[in-house]
Amino acid sequence: MKTENDSAVSVEHLTVSYGPVPALLDISFSVEPGQLVGIIGPNGSGKSTLIKAVLGFVKADFGNVKLFGKSAEHAKGAVAYVPQRGAVDWDFPVTVRDVALMGRFSKTPWWRDLSHEDHRLADEALDMVRMTEFADRQIGQLSGGQQQRVFMARAIAQDSELLLLDEPFAGVDAATERAILDVLRKTREAGKTTLVVHHDLATAAEYFDKLVLLKQRLFGYGPPENILQPELLSEVYEGTLRVFANLSPKKDSIASAARHRESHTGISDQSKSSEASK
Ligand code: ADP
Ligand code: MG
């Protein structure tokens, strides 16, 4: 019999409030190791709060989160996190390589210098996000998309079992989108578990094994074809989305999704969403 100890992430009756109204109410789901899971829902639906609760950054009023059978606190070393853009001050004077190496510090006791292996993992991470040629650049001199990739490299360098990404695709250029897709594919190949807050329903079916559909409560959890149902989406998004017709989900590899999608597409653009689901 499966138990919560077999899950990478197990969320049980999670309720989180910042004020009188809960941001998340009675959320329960579990993610098996090795899965790539998208978290979708309208603005303010609690997506970032869910990621923060998984990290143990916000306190649950009720319920709990277990990571690999342990409390978030005890599983800290197993988790890497890339916050939503804008949540980070990029003005501190460090190079791209320094940022990637920061991913190794969390794994290094204070009395030990970074090893050859640490440097190798940081370089490999920069390579994965295609930022090697910028390694000596100050991060303040990069474009937004490039900064996003460097932050991603830092998370990859941690070599954690669980990767949490908050809207990594929001507002990025095509090169960054491809680099992030590459990362998602490789982390899945490596058997890691990844949770990604995602705002673009047109690509959700192509990118993810399962989707969490949120609006304060859990409206659905399962394979994209079960979640991207017009009735369910219109209930959750109400009047905020116009196009549901072309969301015919098709299980496809991330690699081919990257080939098909040269640029970011929005759900309100009918021609592009049908393009993305071909
Ligand atoms: P999403 O990421 O889906 O846009 P959030 O998790 O950021 O949603 O927010 C969920 C709800 O909680 C929103 O109503 C938001 O205004 C509120 N909220 C989020 N963070 C805070 C905070 N630090 N203090 C007070 N309210 C917050
Ligand atoms: Mg958010």
- Region 113-120: mean pLDDT is 89
- Region 54-65: mean pLDDT is 94
Q: Is the pLDDT of residue 264 over 70?
A: no
Question: What is the C-alpha end-to-end distance of the chain, expressed in Å?
Answer: 39
Q: How many CB atoms within 10 Å of residue 257?
A: 20
CA 89 remoteness from chain centre: 20
222 lines ligand 1 (CB under 6 A): no
Q: Is the pLDDT of residue 270 over 90?
A: no
- Residue 20 CA to ligand 1 centre (angstroms): 12
Per-residue pLDDT at 153: 95
160 lines ligand 1 (CB under 6 A): no
Q: How many CB atoms within 10 Å of residue 190?
A: 11
Buried b (16+ CB within 10 A) or exposed e, 217-242: bbbbbeebeebbbeeebeebbeeebe
44 alpha carbon, closest ligand: 1
Residue 274's closest CA among 205, 185, 216?
205
22 lines ligand 1 (CB under 6 A): no
Q: What topology does CATH give the domain 4-263?
A: Rossmann fold (3.40.50)
pLDDT class for 224, splitting at 50, 70, 90? very high
Tell me the domain boundaries of the chain.
4-263
pLDDT tens figures, 167-189: 999 888 888 998 999 899 999 99
User: Which residue, by CA, sits nearest to atom 13 of ligand 1?
Assistant: 44
* Lowest model confidence (mean pLDDT) among 47-61, 219-233, 243-257: 243-257
> Who has greater pLDDT, 77 or 3?
77
Q: Residue 26 carries which DSSP code?
A: E
pLDDT tens figures, 61-104: 999 999 999 988 888 788 999 988 766 666 778 999 999 999 88
- Region 132-155: mean pLDDT is 92
49 lines ligand 1 (CB under 6 A): yes
CA 87 remoteness from chain centre: 15
Per-residue pLDDT at 6: 84
Q: What does the radius of gyration of the chain's CA atoms come to, in whole angstroms?
A: 19
Residue 54's closest CA among 20, 31, 88?
31
- Residue 124 CA to ligand 2 centre (angstroms): 29
Task: State the pTM of this model.
Answer: 0.85
* Dihedral angle, C-alpha 225, 183, 47, 243, nearest 10 °: -40
Name the amino acid, one letter, at 151.
Answer: F
42 alpha carbon, closest ligand: 1
The answer to whether 249 and 277 have CB atoms below 8 angstroms apart is: yes
